[in-house]
Structure 1
Amino acid sequence: MNTFLRASLLLLVCFSCKEETPAPTKTELLTGRPWKWVGGAVTPAFDVFSNGNLSNGEYWSQAPKCWQDDIRVFTTAGKFTHEEGATKCNVADPQIYAQGTWQFDASEKVVKINDSALGEQMWEIQELTATTLKVVEVYQEKGKTYTFNYSFTR
């Protein structure tokens, strides 16, 4: 009986101890797989599409189809690309629309992107999970400040 009790206790201890999987780091969440652009909003009104028409609030539903399949890729080496999806606005456009580098700020709450097309961007992370990325960018032009909200998914 004593041996049976010891063996049972040993089995119970061995099988009840499971190694916890550590939560992924923010770098691991951001990198690894492409992010598809799925939403956008701006305040105050801004000419998002460079067509003379101002958009205020959600603009993504009016975005050209060629924008709606674009992806962003962040690598662990600090590289960034903005790539065309299957649909291009101009068939002659390169597949990689813009490229550059990225890095987190010290708090890992802001992603600093140096982009070959748009220059420096600062994305404040609102949500970052394995499948969702939501950021806010504050942009200044001609003395006005605009707030852009971008949503991405995997």
Structure 2
Amino acid sequence: MKKILFVFVFLGLLAGCKSSSTDVTPKTNVELLAGTSSKKWKVTDGTVLYSGLTVNLVSNQPPCVTDNILTLFADKTYELSEGAVKCNMTDPSVIVKSTWSLEESPLKISINKFIFLDYVIDNPVFIIKTIDEKQFTGETLVKYNGNNYVATITFTAQ
């Protein structure tokens, strides 16, 4: 009788210790950027190489500029919205609303219009250098006073 009880306990332990192997499908780049419906991002770092010097575009900006939110939607639309602090209380909550696209090779996101530091960049293409669920960094060309500069921008998920 003890042997039968021991066998049942042993089989119960084996069944309880069974490893559950769940396959985790890696997220696509669209899912990393927009989630399953939408995902919010904030610019947390931005630099540009200007006359041989790296200039930080974010560190000395007021919160009314640095707290703005870029929301990427899975249907390839986006909104750039004011954050918690507005520079001008009469400014609309949504700064710009349009579409975005993604190319896989090389990995790059195109946004119809991006506004940062009161500077409008029409049709910027961000070549994505790093991407994961929490952050992505891209480079884009910025034209200023007739010259092209490479800006490196980091977006952090909110």
State the TM-score, normalizing by the size of structure 2: 0.77
Q: Residues 59 and 118 (structure 1 numbering): CA distance in 2 closer, same or farther, change over 3 Å?
A: closer
State the AA in 1 paired with 2:55. G
Partner of 1:115: 113
The 2-side partners of 1:95 and 1:17 are apart by: 47
State, as a whole percentage, how many aligned pairs show the same letter. Answer: 24
Residues 26 and 108 of structure 1 are in contact (CA less than 8 Å); yes or no, is this contact kept in structure 2? no
Q: Could you tell me which runs of 5 or more consecutive residues in structure 2 were left unpaired when the two chains were aligned.
A: 115-119
Following TM superposition, by how much is the alpha carbon of 1:56 offset from its aligned partner in structure 2, in angstroms?
4.7
Q: 1:39 — aligned with what? A: 45
Q: Which residue of 2 aligns with 1:102?
A: 100
Shift of 1:89: 1.0
1:37-69 per-position Cα deviation (integer Å, ceiling 9, x unaligned) = 211111116xxxxxxxxx952121111221111
Give the length in aligned residue pairs. Answer: 144
* The one of 133, 151, 155 aligned to 1:152: 155
Report 1:3-152 matches (<5 A).
11=15, 15-31=18-34, 32-44=38-50, 56-107=54-105, 109-115=107-113, 118-152=121-155
What is the aligned partner in structure 1 of residue 117 from structure 2? none
Q: 1:36 to 1:146 in 2, by over 3 A?
A: same
Rounded to whole Å, the distance in 2 between the matches of 1:101 and 1:139 is 20
Change (3 A) 1:38 1:109: same
Higher strand share: 2
Q: In terms of Rg, which structure is larger?
A: 2
1:118 Cα offset (Å): 3.3
Unaligned runs of 5+ in 1: 46-54
Name the TM-score, length of structure 1 as normaliser.
Answer: 0.79
Q: Quote the offset at 1:19 in angstroms.
A: 1.7
Separation in 1, partners of 2:146, 2:86: 32
